[in-house]
Amino acid sequence: MIPKEEHELHRRRRGRNFALGGALLAFVLLVFAVTIVKLSEGQIGSLQGY
Amino acid sequence: MTDASIIDTAREPVSGQPKEPSVRDYVSLLKPRVMSLSIFTALVGMLCAPASLNPVVGFAAILCIAVGAGASGALNMWWDADIDAKMRRTAGRPIPDGRMAAGEALAFGLALSVLSVMMLAVFTNPLAGGLLAFTIFFYVVIYSMWLKRSTPQNIVIGGLAGALPPLVGWAAATGSVGIAPLLMVGLIFMWTPPHFWALALFAETDYEKADVPMLPNVAGDAETRRQILIYALLLAPVAIAPAFTVAGGPLYLAVALYFNARFAAGAWRLRRRDEAQAKADKYAAEKAFFRLSLHFLFWSFAALLGEAALRAALGDYAAAMQLF
């Protein structure tokens, strides 16, 4: 059974989880933003072939 | 994974206090101070290029270069954990201090390397991605694994890794390589040895204890001063030449002439001193030369940035004039 007592170890792990979540979210937003820019500049023209 | 298994793992540091690496430990693996120099020079390379990159794509490219630089820092800390543990300056790093398992740093560094190279190639072009991959490879394999422990010329050749970011930035914007970014690479490459050796003259280093052959330890104080002067003189033509390329102009020329004259004079002053004189005034000239080297690099690249801003402003002005 997991002890309820808050340990330094849990605090660090939570910090890492939040940082990883933030990094993943930022990465998704970045790829989305670059995709929008490239589409609006017509650089992804090959997509029109479909 | 249970809490008990975490406490029982090899992550347990010398103090016996069970720990897990914190976010700060991961950030320190990326060597943020080294990363900031890469970001600045890559940004200058990108903005000086005669091609316009969308700001969003430019931001994404700089982020990739920064992450790539950080990844090579993490891989360097993984490889050098044994010598880091022997030196006071580096003993507190996450791996030698026992806060992080070496394998974790390796996985972190490799994952970020692959991600940064791949994304830079996708966001900009394959040449920029390839150059970033080469930069990481050069720093980790050629410098860290091979040269650092085998030759006192380690930072001379290894300095190329730190010199490449402006070329990566330029390639990201243009998709090609030009003489101007190659000269920027040459500038940082030739600047690195006198910068580091000046620091090595006055800073309390324990490279000897870690069996790392740094020039002052191997060849002595006088030879180091001679080499600093040689490199300062060889640096001058390389540092002034960008003034006559598409990235340069009169502003850069003025800044380059001023700083190269001061740099050569400072190196000459160091050459004429010996260790006893340096100790007598607590390494005043050596410390001043080291500070000057920092200003040299910053203002040289700031001047290139200034030239790019001037060209943009004058270009707009010329275009506006043509309307009338």
DSSP secondary structure, A1-50, as one string: ----S--HHHHHHHHHHHHHHHHHHHHHHHHHHHHHHHHHTT--GGGGG-
Q: Cβ-count burial of A17 within 10 angstroms (0-12 exposed, 13-18 middle, 19+ buried)?
A: exposed
Taking an 8 Å cut-off on Cβ atoms, the answer to whether A15 and B54 are in contact is no
CATH number 1.20.1260.10 is the correct assignment for the domain at B23-177: no
Residues of A in contact with B116 (CB under 8 A): none
**Residue A19 near residue B23, CB atoms below 8 Å:** yes
List chain B pLDDT tens, one digit each, 324 residues. 444 444 444 444 444 454 588 899 999 999 999 899 999 999 999 999 998 889 999 999 999 999 999 999 999 999 999 999 988 888 999 999 999 999 999 999 999 999 999 999 999 999 999 999 999 999 999 999 999 898 888 889 889 999 999 999 999 999 999 999 999 999 999 999 999 999 988 886 778 888 888 888 888 889 999 999 999 999 999 999 999 999 999 999 999 999 999 999 999 999 999 888 988 888 999 999 999 999 999 999 999 999 999 998 887 666 666 655
User: Who's near B191: CB < 8 A, 6+ residues apart?
Assistant: B235, B239, B293, B296, B297
Q: Where are the domains of chain A?
A: 9-49
ipTM here: 0.80
How far is residue B62's CA from residue B180's CA, in Å, rounded to a whole number? 19
Task: Answer yes or no: do A9 and B19 touch at CB < 8 A.
Answer: yes
CB-closest option in B20, B63, B123 to A9? B20
- Closest partner residue to A2 (CB to CB) among B3, B7, B57 is B3
CB of B6 within 8 Å of a chain A CB? The answer is yes
Kindly tell me the burial class for residue B99, based on how many C-beta atoms sit within 10 Å of its own C-beta (0-12, 13-18, 19 or more).
Answer: buried
Say if B54 is an interface residue toward chain A (CB within 8 Å). yes
* Predicted TM-score of the model (pTM): 0.88
Alpha carbon of A41: minimum distance to chain B alpha carbons (Å): 9
